[in-house]
Chains A and B, each alone.
Chain A
Amino acid sequence: MLKTLRLAAAFSTAVLFLAGMTEAQTDPGVQSGNRGTGAALSSVLANDNAGILTFFNDGLSRFQEIETVSGGANNGLGPRFNSNSCSSCHAQPAIGGSGPASNPQAQFISSGVAPKDTMPYFITSTGPTVEARFPFYFNRSGSANTSSPNGGVEDLFTVTGRSDAGACSLPQPSFSAAQAANNIIFRIPTPVFGAGLVENLDDSTLLSNMAINLNNRFGISGAFNHNGNDGTISRFGWKAQNKSLHIFTGEAYNVEMGIANLLFPQDRPLPGEDGGGATGLTGLPSTCLNLAGGYPEDTNNPGQTGSAILDDVSAFANFMRGLAPPPTGSVVLNGATVASSSISNGASLFSSIGCATCHNPTPGTTQKSKITGSLGSAPVNAYSDFEIHHMGTTLTDNVGQGGAGGDQFRTAPLWGLGQRIFLLHDGRTTSLLTAIEDHDSRGSEATTVEGNFDNLNSSQQQDLLNFLRSL
């Protein structure tokens, strides 16, 4: 073979790259056209499983409710929270999505949602909606104690000063101190379109995919995160730390909005507020407990009829399960619609250079569903393997969740990517190119694939970007 190659080396006419000779590629950006995202599954719309459309619409309605602390129609907010409504964060491009262009958190102080708080330095009106975490507890000198992992959510706001919060008065976490110590990370909301299909993928399907995809020449080998209770594969959240949509929404209701519920029945103190980090604290002060007249603040309603019997968490989960996957659509770049051939070429490139090894276009077909027809025996075109992968030092957040370490993240499902504004787990960029580039770092499984992207010419890279914005 070497002889042949020597000849090839001498006479090959293969084309070399001439960097800079072609026009630089451009992220087409967020696609504003109405693709119909946010609709219910077709079988839900057809009320397949009588009553399910009512469940869906009831969940959709509750998903948009504004929560108050006490005395209103929807109580239980706080005493700490990141937002007061599910849809305030899950809004782009439709209810159930990711963070919107205009961050509602930026208005919480001026609008009286958190009247006595100080706006965290990282919240801006045009930035991403986020939650914050401190990877490590502080020690007494103010430095982060890297021997004392924290990683829990540090809610941004408190109910302090609200007329419906009684005498509850709480300090906010020390965001500025965390910034000074480089001890703060952020997460943005994950969209939930098509989440019912993801929930209905059997573990055996995911395991089979894993084994097949281990046969790759890109150096990629993932793992699964697992639910600690039953040992099955968990799949929701940035680190695939949540097992089901009920768990996902129950935790979010408790952690993001401070509403105790049937799955998480207590009001949640901050990690350092319950003794973590050797604070000596023992939980929320009594003046901040029982603000809504008992626990759990969200429960079922046996005196009601129909969908009103359900607790909010169940209603939310019903809504999310019923959401259709985000449709694909055409792409507009610089005011002109991109040719479909560019998008199909980009899809082939996406697969050829190795992106699809993790961002699996179709990781499988769902099991039969007892909920509604569309959830059963359906392909899940999620562009994810739902594994966790080492993403290296650029993306690491040093937060461990379940079996996921500080640099391991679930392969972000890319369906709906065309209409997402903020990218990567912390919303650090709005540029697809930057997001791709950030896959390349020390310790990342995606370095070689990112290198393959770099090896494409500008026209090919443009096709790939166009394809991604078609999702």
Chain B
Amino acid sequence: MRFASSFQLGRLEASDQPRRSFDAARCEGGETMRSRCLHLLVAIALPVSLLANGQDSKAKSQPENGGDFSNVTSAVTKVPTGVILIKGAWSSASDSVTPVPEGGSVSNNVFENEYFGMHYALPSGWSERYEGPPPSDSGRYVLAQIRPADRNAKIRGNILITAQDMFFTPMPAGNVLQYMNYVKDHLPEDYKLEQPVTQTKIAGRSFDFLAYWSPVAQLHWYVLAMQSRCHTLEIVLSSQDTKLLGSLVLDLDKMTLPAEAGLTAGLGGGDAPVCIKGFASGDHVIARVDPIFSEAKFNPVPVRIIIDRKGKVKHIHFLSAFPDQAKAITDALNQWKFKPYLRDGIPAEVETGLMFGRAPPTIATQSSATE
């Protein structure tokens, strides 16, 4: 193998010294020509056996630059596997202290969610293998996905805990009962209704219960929903084994929930602010500054805010936003001023929602949300 042509030289350099080879390929004259051609001469002197190694050859020197042409194949820091580093629109908050709906987790076989005040000890032998996706721009949260820890066990089923922000729901429902009736009335044809929406008590709180099943899959779904902080909190149990489902419901009775949770939730019991749809509009707003976006994007940006007793924005939670959108909206909302909300004549904190960006699709005109 002889290296008489520029093409062959090009290959040599591509293999061993990407950055230098790139310069060599441009050995066209000018001030750097001599040094570049010197690299060529050095390269020509390399033994043929090394050339045959191609791109797998070990680097002889550190690259002068990074880009696409690193030649270092050892002792490098690897990109971690299984980590989402490049995020699209994602959730974020103005502080890390105030609980957010997606902030719950399973630890020591207990699901805890501070925002909803939920404490649920998982049934024995069940666990959360994978946490869910980030909140959606339609206001849907996957709070926990629980399954039998042993995937080969005889017991098979799912426990899915979700929340739908009722400020942003695409469904024509203003409260949990309307929400559940909508679900019941729009079951896909694959399913048969087993139990229409009925109210029941679980863990001392009011829940709406709905059951349906798939004859072909022999799978049953038990759906339990309650309202909390202007969210529909939904627990979906599914399995082919109705006995198992029954026991899972019984197990839910051990769950603890905050005092204000229930069909008329959102009234600000305990430390929770009052949740009011549309509070960030109309006469409630004294001063308003619109965000200035540096780039047009086309996603809905649902935002929950907590307004303090003096009418200033205390906390901002982005369910789904690109970082530049979150910054622009934060800069704007920090300049907003509201009339303090009075409950029984006493100023109270208010939690409300705003939608920036493109309006999301809705199924039909939404009825007014529950205060």
Given the complex of chains A and B, what is the CA–CA distance between A146 and B88 in angstroms? Answer: 15
Given A219-B162, A400-B88, also A279-B153 (CB < 8 A): no
Given A348-B190, A398-B79, A452-B238, also A19-B154 (CB < 8 A): yes
- Which residues 429-465 in A have Cβ within 8 Å of B in the complex? 440-445, 447-448, 451-452, 454-457, 460
Given A214-B140, A352-B217, A400-B86, also A447-B243 (CB < 8 A): no
- Whether, in the assembled complex, A172 has its beta carbon less than 8 Å from a beta carbon of chain B, the answer is yes
- Whether, in the assembled complex, B124 has its beta carbon less than 8 Å from a beta carbon of chain A, the answer is no
Given the complex of chains A and B, what is the CA–CA distance between A45 and B33 in angstroms? Answer: 60
Contact B145 A221 (CB under 8 A): no
Given A118-B15, A135-B86, A443-B84, also A140-B63 (CB < 8 A): yes
Given A146-B85, A181-B76, A352-B219, also A169-B363 (CB < 8 A): no
Given the complex of chains A and B, what is the CA–CA distance between A16 and B145 in angstroms? Answer: 21
Contact A211 B170 (CB under 8 A): yes
Contact B88 A408 (CB under 8 A): yes
Binds A, one of B19-27, B275-283, B329-337: B19-27
Contact B90 A405 (CB under 8 A): yes
Binds B, one of A87-95, A267-275, A293-301, A416-424: A267-275
**Which of B28, B88, B157, B202 has the largest number of chain A CB atoms within 10 A?**
B88
* Partner pick for A272 among B56, B66, B147, B247, CB 8 A cutoff: B66
Minimum Cβ distance to chain B for residue A132 (Å): 10
Chain B residues within 8 Å of A154, by CB? 68
Minimum Cβ distance to chain B for residue A459 (Å): 11
Contact A9 B160 (CB under 8 A): no
Minimum Cβ distance to chain A for residue B110 (Å): 19
Contact A9 B246 (CB under 8 A): yes
Chain A residues within 8 Å of B154, by CB? 16-19
| Chain A window 254-295, contacts with chain B (Cβ cutoff 8 Å), 1 for yes, 0 for no | 000000000000000011110011111100011110000000
**Which of A218, A276, A352 has the largest number of chain B CB atoms within 10 A?**
A352
Chain A residues within 8 Å of B352, by CB? none
Given A9-B246, A176-B73, also A214-B134 (CB < 8 A): no
- Whether, in the assembled complex, B6 has its beta carbon less than 8 Å from a beta carbon of chain A, the answer is yes
Contact A286 B243 (CB under 8 A): no
Chain A residue nearest to B236 in the complex (CB): A217
Contact A442 B131 (CB under 8 A): yes
Binds B, one of A28-36, A100-108, A302-310, A387-395: A387-395
Given the complex of chains A and B, what is the CA–CA distance between A444 and B130 in angstroms? Answer: 8
Total B residues in contact with A, Cβ cutoff 8 Å: 116
Contact A226 B298 (CB under 8 A): yes
Contact B297 A403 (CB under 8 A): yes
Given A2-B250, A280-B65, also A442-B240 (CB < 8 A): no
Given the complex of chains A and B, what is the CA–CA distance between A326 and B212 in angstroms? Answer: 35
- Whether, in the assembled complex, A160 has its beta carbon less than 8 Å from a beta carbon of chain B, the answer is yes
- Whether, in the assembled complex, B345 has its beta carbon less than 8 Å from a beta carbon of chain A, the answer is no
- Whether, in the assembled complex, A8 has its beta carbon less than 8 Å from a beta carbon of chain B, the answer is yes
- Whether, in the assembled complex, A207 has its beta carbon less than 8 Å from a beta carbon of chain B, the answer is yes
Given the complex of chains A and B, what is the CA–CA distance between A171 and B246 in angstroms? Answer: 65
Chain B residue nearest to A399 in the complex (CB): B86
Minimum Cβ distance to chain A for residue B148 (Å): 10
* Partner pick for A1 among B18, B19, B209, B299, CB 8 A cutoff: B209
Given A8-B242, A141-B72, A145-B66, also A171-B14 (CB < 8 A): yes
Contact A170 B65 (CB under 8 A): no
Chain B residue nearest to A8 in the complex (CB): B246
A-B contact list, 27 entries, CB within 8 Å: A9-B250, A14-B241, A116-B10, A120-B55, A121-B56, A137-B66, A137-B68, A141-B62, A146-B79, A158-B14, A177-B71, A181-B78, A221-B138, A231-B358, A270-B68, A272-B69, A277-B65, A278-B66, A281-B22, A281-B67, A353-B217, A398-B79, A406-B84, A448-B160, A451-B147, A452-B158, A455-B219
Question: Which A residues have a C-beta under 8 Å from some C-beta of B?
Answer: 1-2, 5-6, 8-9, 12, 14-20, 115-121, 134-146, 148-151, 154, 158, 160-162, 167, 169-183, 207-208, 210-212, 214-215, 217-219, 221-224, 226, 228, 231, 270-273, 276-281, 285-288, 345, 348-349, 351-353, 388-390, 392-394, 396, 398-400, 403-408, 440-445, 447-448, 451-452, 454-457, 460
Known A174-B70, A214-B170; 19 more pairs at CB < 8 Å: A9-B247, A12-B243, A12-B246, A142-B63, A148-B66, A161-B11, A170-B10, A173-B68, A177-B70, A182-B79, A217-B234, A221-B137, A272-B69, A285-B25, A404-B88, A405-B89, A443-B132, A448-B158, A455-B219
